[in-house]
Structure 1
Amino acid sequence: MEWRAVVLIGSKYRIACAVFLLSLLVRALWAGLAYVTPISDFNGYDTLAWKWISTGDFGLEGRVAYRTPGYPGFLALIYLVVGHSWKAAGVVQALLGALTSGMLVLLAATVLSVRASMVAGLLHTFSPAALAYVPILASENLAVPLVVAGLLCLTVADRRTGVIRYAAVAGSGVIMGLLILVRPIGVFMLPGAVLLAAYSPQKHAWRLGPALVFLGLTAAMLAPWLVRNHLAGFGAGTLSTTGGLNAWMGNNDAAVGRGYSKIAQSALDLSGLGEKERDVAYRDAALTWVRAHPGRYLALCRTRAVRLLGVEPDVWAAKYLVPTRENDAAMRARHRRETGNRSVSGSLLSRARAVQSRN
């Protein structure tokens, strides 16, 4: 019985290494051949990272807390080493994606079975959505490996004792802090992560020590950013000033289809307000709309739940599933049209619609 356990453990790591190498090969080829120009939020990340390197200041257009520093900092580190290269960022993200494939094997082998781990790793290796994101300057490329790494650490902690358990919990706390700095929506994962740190499903026991270590390390990772925002006048606990705008884009008269509307951003004239005041004004407008339209709000919640469960294909994956130079030009033209530029080639717009619909 002990011999069989050793064989299974060894096969788990062999499978993880094999899947990692396969995933790296697939993603490196994809990153090398893809042609994607950053638009929308992705252009914002790129500009913010390069400005941070060039000037030492973090912020764009007078907004100093609109973005959290995790993903721009990741891009800035790449640019510091190799220069302002989108292709280099794609290659690094290919490596992160391959690591995610390998970590999924280890995670699934631990909580399910070795066979299931192979399936999980291969599904991620060849996932169209995961591949499409490799050359895109999107924070998901950093957030997803952090989520998987954090869960893997918590799983290890549940099955070990002593120093190893606390080291794994501490690692998961650091990772959770980084995740929130990359994508603030990670805050909503915090309660579940604390429960995983505090409760052992195997032993059916609660453990206060690991939970406190987890929370302490998470707080330590967030503290410098929160203190910086507090000193900048945003108040204690301000992670980002995107919350109000996102709430308004998701809850307004034009929010249909995928459950939100970017057009709503220009529906309110907040030009005379500061960053903090704009965030509050957007939030208040969203809450006012929800109170006035409870039925519409519930319908939008259902739409967003469908998207959350992955029933609807990812929009950006559909746009960049075939990342050729011609398709990139079409997507850039469509973005210019969506942001108010009317002098855009009709043939490029038609191509963009056809590509996204087909994918």
Structure 2
Amino acid sequence: MLKRLFERLDRWAECMALDSKFIWKLFLVALLVRVILVLLHPHIHLISDMLGYHESAVSLLQNGDFRVKGRLSASRPPLYSIFMFMVYYVFGTGNIFVVRLLQCILGACTSVLTFKLTQKVFSSKAGVWAGLFFALYPAAWGYCDLILSETLFTFLLVAGLIFLVDVPEGQFHKAFIAGILLGMATLTRTVLVQFPLFLALFYLVFSRKRLTYLPKLALFVITFWIVLIPWMARNQRVFGEPLLTTKSGVDFYMYNHNPFRLILLNYSLEGKEVFDGVVPWQLSEMERDKLCRNAGIEWVKKHPGLFLFKGVRMQWNFFGVEREYIWSLIAGYWGGIPRWQLFLSFLVFAPTIYILMPLFIWGVVYSWKNFSAKKNLLLLIVYFLAVTFVYYGFSRHRTPLNPIIMSFAGFAMTAWPKIFADLKTPGILRRPQTVIALGLLAFFIIGWILEIFMDVGTFLSLRFTHAGWHDVGNGM
């Protein structure tokens, strides 16, 4: 029965891959589901990071500079605030509804770009699955609805990856365009700032064609950094240092100061408990960032074992359930809502990664020896995992990688006969691909079990009560 189902799905994907109008169908489906979510609640309440983006956009509109709480700020990179500023300039200050609708369009375009990326790396049939996965992935709808930078960042990243997969073997103009797009993505979220150097060093160290590759790698790196120069020059003028953000030290400190139990439970101590009465949030951005970075470095020196454990724990976190939209609802993004709606939202948004991840794992393992264009995608994943190991990570930080995860999942959907045959045939331990895939899946299942325990405990208020939890019940 399962085999017949996959055969039918395979035939359908083949038909869609040959359909010249598939891209438009994919775009419209992706746009429809996202717009429906926005229209379900036209009015929202800005919370957490959303307030900072809004304040920066309003400040840019009124004063021509980036300010948060009245102070010149570099706590967030500028591009998403500029995006909101342009909407406010055209449609009126505070027009969040139009921002969300435009993000729906960007999200639908990202579905098409995911199809194109996967088509380029693997095949059109795999692209059909990857594009459809992203179009119908609930968390991707949610980020289009939230006033956060993930939708814009993911759009720019996937657009850049379409060109980056040809670097350093492709034409020079592809390295140039990839540098521009990934530079713009870095001005949306700074996590990519070291990636060009990481990519270049990988090829220069491990490739026999290093001298042939050097010009294109240099073009990619230089173009990338040229895009960042105006923002860094602004920060040199304002803060006296050519930095991208005044929050990197805070991010480093956030999970690099906790005892074992809190790392295991994924909690973080308040800063005043570590700084002997000094409240970091009362300092300037630069002072706070340096204080937090130094405190984090000292903790790593004193507790290298805990640092390593924290790094592994964060990998489980990184590939955990999609929690951002649920926490936004708990914090009052929709206002007061009945708990049954919150529970329904949890069922829709949170657990879909449990379906996607096994396909991703099998896709990576079974494509390992083929499809050379996938190399840069894997390097980007490794880079993100390294950043997560050193700093910290949640499902929100994985969001930009979801199109890549879906690309490999799409390939797995086309390789199902081989995967099924290896799983069913006796002597499974003699097949390295199957053993590796099952081993990776077992590693993540351990983390998921831990996370389910924590999230269910949180949801039922067994461990702690979120500050906004009681407000959720106001809609009952």
Task: Pick the TM interval, shorter chain.
Answer: 0.7 to 0.9
TM-score (norm 2): 0.61
**Residue 104 and residue 193 in structure 1: after superposition, are their counterparts in 2 closer, same or farther (change >3 A)?**
farther
Match of 1:31 in 2: 38
Letter in 1 for 2:83: F
Structure-2 residue corresponding to 1:54 = 62
Amino acid at match of 2:45: T
Q: 1:179 to 1:11 in 2, by over 3 A?
A: same
CA-CA distance at 1:273 after TM superposition: 4.5
Q: 1:197/1:258 Cα in 2 relative to 1: closer, same or farther (>3 Å)?
A: farther
Deviation at 1:64, TM superposition (A): 2.2
**What's the counterpart of residue 264 of structure 1?**
271
Bigger drift between 86-95 and 313-322 goes to 313-322
21, 25, 28: which is aligned to 1:21? 28
Q: Which moved more, 1:46-55 or 1:256-265?
A: 256-265
Note if 1:72 corresponds to 2:81.
yes
Please identify, of 11-20 and 220-229, the stretch whose mean Cα deviation from structure 2 is larger. 11-20
Equivalent position of 1:86 in the other structure: 96
- Paired with 1:327 and 1:12, the residues of 2 have a C-alpha distance of 42
Task: Name the CA shift for 1:58/1:169 in 2 (closer, same or farther; >3 Å).
Answer: same
Decide whether the 8 Å contact of 1:234 with 1:276 is kept in 2: no
C-alpha change, 1:100 and 1:193, in structure 2 (3 Å) is farther
2:149 corresponds to 1:139: yes
Distance 1:79 1:198, change over 3 A: farther
Matched, 1:278 2:298: no
Compute the TM-score of the two structures, normalised by the length of structure 1: 0.79
- Cα displacement (A) at 1:87: 1.1
Give the distance between the partners of 2:304 and 2:54, measured in 1 at CA.
38
CA distance in 2, matches of 1:345, 1:242: 25
Alignment partners' CA distance in 1, 2:312 and 2:25: 40
SS at match of 2:145: coil
Aligned-residue CA RMSD in angstroms?
3.6
C-alpha change, 1:196 and 1:317, in structure 2 (3 Å) is farther
Deviation, 1:158, is: 6.8
Following TM superposition, by how much is the alpha carbon of 1:151 offset from its aligned partner in structure 2, in angstroms?
Answer: 0.6
Identity rate, percent: 26
When residues 77 and 12 of structure 1 are mapped into structure 2, their CA distance, relative to the original with a 3 A threshold, is farther
| Structure 1 residues 193 and 19: CA distance shift in structure 2, 3 A | farther
Match of 1:4? none
Deviation sequence 1:237-281 (CA, Å, 0-9, x none): x11110111112112237535745273377531467443222111
Tell me how far 1:319 sits from its aligned partner: 3.2
What amino acid does structure 2 have at the position aligned with 1:151? Answer: L
Distance, in Å, in 1 between the alignment partners of 2:60 and 2:270 is: 29
Residue 46 of structure 1, CA deviation: 1.1
- Determine the C-alpha separation between the residues in 2 that align with 1:36 and 1:46: 13
- Indicate conservation of the 8 Å contact 2:163/2:175, yes or no: yes
Alpha-carbon spacing, 1:256–1:204, altered in 2? closer, same or farther (3 Å):
closer
Q: CA offsets, 1:37-86, max 9 Å, x none?
A: 22111111111111211121212243522221111111111111111211
Asked whether the 8 Å contact 1:166–1:210 carries over to 2, the reply is: yes
Aligned with 1:296 (options 303, 306, 313): 306
Name the CA distance, whole Å, in 1 between partners of 2:316 and 2:151: 22
The answer (yes or no) to whether the contact 1:58–1:64 under 8 Å persists in 2 is yes
Cα drift, residue 326 of structure 1: 3.1
| Cα distance in 1, alignment partners of residues 72 and 265 from structure 2 | 27
Q: In the alignment, does 2:122 pair up with 1:122?
A: no
Q: Is the 8 A contact 2:45 2:334 kept in 1?
A: no
Moved more, 275-284 or 90-99: 275-284
Distance 1:12 1:206 in 2: 39
Deviations 1:196-240 (A, max 9, x none): 9999x9x9994333222222221211111111212224324x111
- CA separation in 2, counterparts of 1:274 and 1:65? 11
- The answer as to whether partners of 2:16 and 2:128 remain within 8 angstroms in 1 is no
2-structure distance, mates of 1:33, 1:261:
34
In 1, Cα distance between equivalents of 2:32 and 2:469: 37
Given the alignment, which residue of 209, 212, 225 partners 1:219?
A: 225
Question: Distance in 2 between the 1:109 and 1:259 partners?
Answer: 38
Contact kept in structure 1, 2:72 and 2:238, CA below 8 Å: no
CA 1:278–1:157 in 2, change beyond 3 Å: closer, same or farther?
A: closer
Work out which of the residue numbers 342, 348, 352 in structure 1 matches 2:471: 348
Most deviating of 34-43 and 108-117: 34-43
Distance 2:165 2:119 in 1: 11
Partner of 1:44: 52
* Matched residues, number: 327
Q: In 2 relative to 1, CA 241–293 (structure 1 residues): closer, same or farther, beyond 3 Å?
A: same
The runs of 5 or more residues in structure 1 that have no matched partner are 1-6, 332-341, 353-359
How much has 1:296 moved relative to structure 2?
A: 2.4
Asked if structure 2 preserves the Cα contact closer than 8 Å seen for 1:177 and 1:221, the reply is yes
CA contact (8 A) 1:79 1:85 kept: yes
Q: Which residue of 1 aligns with 2:245?
A: 240
User: CA-to-partner distance for each residue in 1:80-111, whole Å, 9 max, x for gaps?
Assistant: 11112111111011111001100010111111
Q: CA deviation at 1:298?
A: 2.1
Quickly say closer, same or farther: Cα 1:170–1:106, change in 2 above 3 A. same
- Structure 2: which amino acid aligns with 1:59? R
**5+ residue gaps, structure 2:** 1-13, 343-464
Mapped partners of 2:73, 2:30: distance in 1: 37
Q: Report the residue type matching 1:69 in the other structure.
A: P
Correspondence for 1:316 among 321, 324, 327: 324
